[in-house]
């Protein structure tokens, strides 16, 4: 398959199950909502070293939030529900409670419940006050600036982690421009995050290492500087490779983001220095979700193994 001079390789991205939740964080201004969102989702690129994967799903207008203030929607994913219940209250207490003017609300109503103020209300040292509206319970925690309002808990979903595609380009600058175009387009897809810095990964990994105890190591088959030293998957004209990793609340959301991102890259085409689109997989041994690139670009379909 060739799209605008770009080869879509006959392969699939291999993804795995994750458990996720959504938080709605609001503040008096869009700037403070973004500060809270960026801080809360910091150091959350990979479960391998960070314990969770998180990112800002999108910004929210006052008309879209419970308290009619500007906000952000955050997605946080972990490998299992036990870990999710641990990391969410920690990030809430350290990064949202502490941030001026913020409040936090549940972004998912279904599924197993993830504690929010149910856990951090004890910071108020007995001065916390609860209020039940309908079936929902909120907590008010007095703080020096005023008070912090927060849902007692939020729901969760069985999500998908590790969706990906690789951009093979002639130069580093061309690869980066293509990746930036993909990230900008994918940011409009609801239900996904791109957890790595700016949505882009330069240090793509393979499973395992020559060093004992290391779970992942550099994806040497896609490192241009190792061509000729190790078996390479790169054509001679490829000088740089960048990866986009996608986590989502569903298989369909990740598939849609994949299609949107690859379409944006292919719009730049071979004239923009893009040679091919590839994907990371381990022969189907890593996870049950297989995003077949050619099928996705033809009709948006994919496969669950």
DSSP letter string, the chain: -EETTEEE-S-EEEEEEEEEEEEEEE-SSHHHHHHHHHHHTSS-S-HHHHSSEEEEEEEE-GGGSTTSS-EEEEEEEESSHHHHHHHHHHHIIIIITTSTT-EEEES--SSS-EESHHHHGGGGTT--EEEEETTEEEEEEEETTEEEEEESEE--EEEEEEEEEEEEESSHHHHHHHHHHHHHHHTTSTTEE--SGGG-BSS-EEE--SSTT--EEE-GGG-GGGBTTB-----TT--EEEEEEEEESSHHHHHHHHHHHHHHHHHHTGGGTEEEEE----TT-S-SEEEEHHHHHHHS--EE-
Mean pLDDT of 252-260: 97
pLDDT at position 247 over 80: yes
pLDDT, tens digit, 9 for 90 and up, residues 159-168: 999 999 999 9
Q: Which pLDDT band holds residue 299 (cuts at 50, 70, 90)?
A: confident
pLDDT at position 104 over 60: yes
- Tell me the whole-structure pTM to 2 decimals: 0.94
Q: Which pLDDT band holds residue 44 (cuts at 50, 70, 90)?
A: very high
Q: Which pLDDT band holds residue 300 (cuts at 50, 70, 90)?
A: low
Mean pLDDT of 84-92: 98
pLDDT at position 305 over 80: no
Residue 17: what pLDDT? 97
Q: Which pLDDT band holds residue 207 (cuts at 50, 70, 90)?
A: confident
pLDDT, tens digit, 9 for 90 and up, residues 127-157: 999 999 988 999 999 999 999 999 999 999 9
Q: What is the mean pLDDT of the chain?
A: 95
Residue 285: what pLDDT? 79
What number does CATH give the domain 2-15+161-304? 3.30.70.520
pLDDT at position 302 over 80: no
Residue 282: what pLDDT? 83
Candidate from 16-30, 154-168, 203-217 with smallest mean pLDDT: 203-217
CATH 3.30.70.520 maps onto the chain at 2-15+161-304, 19-157
What number does CATH give the domain 19-157? 3.30.70.520
Q: Which pLDDT band holds residue 216 (cuts at 50, 70, 90)?
A: confident
For residues 199 and 211, is the Cβ–Cβ distance under 8 A? Answer: no
Q: Which pLDDT band holds residue 215 (cuts at 50, 70, 90)?
A: confident
Q: Which pLDDT band holds residue 303 (cuts at 50, 70, 90)?
A: low
Residue 10: what pLDDT? 97
Residue 286: what pLDDT? 82
Mean pLDDT of 281-305: 81
């Amino acid at each position: 398959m060739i799209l605008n001079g770009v080869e879509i390789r006959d392969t699939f991205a291999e993804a795995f199950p994750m458990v996720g939740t959504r938080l709605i964080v609001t503040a008096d201004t869009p700037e403070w909502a973004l500060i809270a969102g960026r801080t809360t989702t910091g150091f959350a690129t990979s479960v391998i070293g960070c314990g969770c994967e998180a990112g800002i799903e999108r910004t929210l207008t006052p008309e879209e939030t419970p308290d009619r203030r500007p906000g952000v929607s955050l997605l946080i994913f972990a490998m299992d529900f036990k870990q999710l219940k641990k990391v969410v209250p920690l990030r809430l207490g350290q990064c949202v409670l502490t941030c001026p003017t913020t409040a936090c609300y549940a972004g998912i109503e279904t599924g197993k419940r993830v504690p929010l103020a149910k856990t951090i209300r004890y910071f108020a040292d007995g001065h916390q006050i609860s209020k039940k509206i309908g079936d929902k319970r909120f907590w008010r925690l007095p703080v020096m600036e005023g008070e912090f309002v927060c849902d007692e808990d939020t729901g969760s979903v069985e999500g998908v982690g590790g969706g990906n595609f690789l951009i093979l380009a002639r130069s580093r600058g061309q690869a980066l421009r293509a990746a930036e175009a993909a990230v900008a387009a994918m940011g409009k897809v609801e239900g996904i995050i791109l957890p790595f810095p700016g949505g882009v990964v330069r240090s793509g990994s393979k499973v395992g290492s020559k060093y004992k105890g290391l779970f992942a190591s550099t994806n040497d088959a896609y490192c241009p500087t190792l061509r000729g030293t190790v078996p390479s998957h790169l054509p001679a004209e490829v000088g740089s490779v960048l990866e986009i990793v996608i986590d989502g609340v569903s298989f369909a959301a990740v598939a849609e983001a994949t299609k949107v991102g690859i379409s944006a890259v292919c719009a730049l085409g071979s004239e923009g220095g893009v040679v091919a689109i590839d994907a990371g997989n381990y022969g189907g041994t890593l996870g049950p979700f297989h995003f077949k690139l050619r099928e996705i670009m033809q009709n948006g379909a994919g496969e669950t193994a």
